[in-house]
Chain A
C-alpha cells in the first residue's frame, strides 16, 4: 500500500509552521509601528494551532472509514495579543501623549525564540516527509 497520508500530514505541518514564521516576521517588522489602520499601536499576533480533523474532503472521509483519521495540523485562527502595551518616554514623537508613546507589545527576544522553534519544527516536518517518501520508494522496490 502506497501511503500518501504521511506525506500529507507532514505537508500540513510544513504549511502551519511556514505561516507561523510569516506571522513572527510580521511581528518583528512591526516592533516599532505606532500607527495602524485600526488606530493605536501594532499588537503582536499569535497563531493558534489545532489538530486537523472533521474536514469533509474525500480523503478524510475515506480515512475515517478505514480507521486512520489523522489529518495533521491546521491553523485555526490568528489572534491579537491583548497583553499590555509598552510605554516609552519620547516627547518628540508625534504620537506622544504627555511625553509617553504607546509602543507595540512585541518582545524581540520572545519572537526570536518562537522563530527558532518554528524553523526547527519546520525541519522536523521536512524530515518526516522525507522518511515517508523513502518508505514509499522502498515499497515500490519490492520484488525488483
Chain B
C-alpha cells in the first residue's frame, strides 16, 4: 500500500511536469523536464537487497522489517541533451502526448489496485 501511494504521488508529479512541458511547447529555449522515480527505486533496492520484497524473502526476526521501503523521492530533472526545434526548445509534442497518456493509464491502474486492496480488506473485516 505504501509503495502504491508513493507511485501515485510520483504519477501526480509526472502529470504536472508533462502538462508544463506541453504548455511550454512554444516557449523559446525551454528545456523539457521529466521525473525520475522508478530507476532510483530500482537502484535503492539493488543497493539494499534486504529491502526487496517478494515470496523468496522471509523475515527472520522482528527487526527485519519487510515493509521498510527505501526512502526514495520522485525527482524532477531537466533534459538539456536533445534539441527538436530551432528556437532552443526540445519539447516533442508527440512524445509528450504519448507520455501523458501512458501516465494517465498508469495512475488509473494504481488507483484501481488501491481500491481493490481496500475492498479485500473490507471483505476480511466483515467476514465475507
**Residues of A with C-beta under 8 A to B18:** 128
Q: Are B115 and A10 in contact (CB under 8 A)?
A: no
Q: Are A135 and B12 in contact (CB under 8 A)?
A: yes
Please report the C-alpha to C-alpha distance between residue A135 and residue B16 in the assembled complex, in whole angstroms: 11
Q: Are A135 and B107 in contact (CB under 8 A)?
A: yes
Give, as a whole number of angstroms, the nearest-CB distance from A125 to chain B. 6
Q: Are B22 and A13 in contact (CB under 8 A)?
A: yes
Number of A interface residues at 8 Å Cβ cutoff, please give it: 39
A-B contact pairs, 25 of them (CB 8 A): A3-B16, A5-B16, A6-B16, A7-B19, A9-B19, A9-B20, A10-B19, A13-B23, A17-B26, A49-B27, A49-B28, A51-B20, A68-B13, A68-B16, A70-B76, A72-B20, A72-B24, A73-B26, A124-B25, A127-B97, A127-B100, A128-B19, A131-B100, A135-B108, A141-B111
Please report the C-alpha to C-alpha distance between residue A5 and residue B15 in the assembled complex, in whole angstroms: 9
Q: A141 touches which one: B20, B27, B97, B115 (CB < 8 A)?
A: B115
**Residues of B with C-beta under 8 A to A20:** 26
Q: Which residues of A contact B (CB under 8 A)?
A: 1, 3, 5-7, 9-10, 12-13, 16-17, 20, 49-51, 68, 70-73, 117-118, 120-121, 124-125, 127-129, 131-132, 134-135, 138-139, 141-144
Is B79 part of the contact surface with A, judged by Cβ < 8 Å?
no
**Residues of B with C-beta under 8 A to A128:** 18-19, 22-23, 100
Q: Are A124 and B26 in contact (CB under 8 A)?
A: no
Please report the C-alpha to C-alpha distance between residue A50 and residue B104 in the assembled complex, in whole angstroms: 27
Please report the C-alpha to C-alpha distance between residue A135 and residue B18 in the assembled complex, in whole angstroms: 14
Please report the C-alpha to C-alpha distance between residue A118 and residue B111 in the assembled complex, in whole angstroms: 34
Q: Are B11 and A135 in contact (CB under 8 A)?
A: yes
Q: A73 touches which one: B12, B23, B112 (CB < 8 A)?
A: B23
Is B96 part of the contact surface with A, judged by Cβ < 8 Å?
yes
Q: When A and B form their complex, which 10 residue pairs have the shortest distance between CB atoms, in order from nearest? A: A13-B23, A9-B19, A49-B27, A73-B23, A70-B20, A138-B111, A131-B104, A72-B23, A6-B19, A128-B19
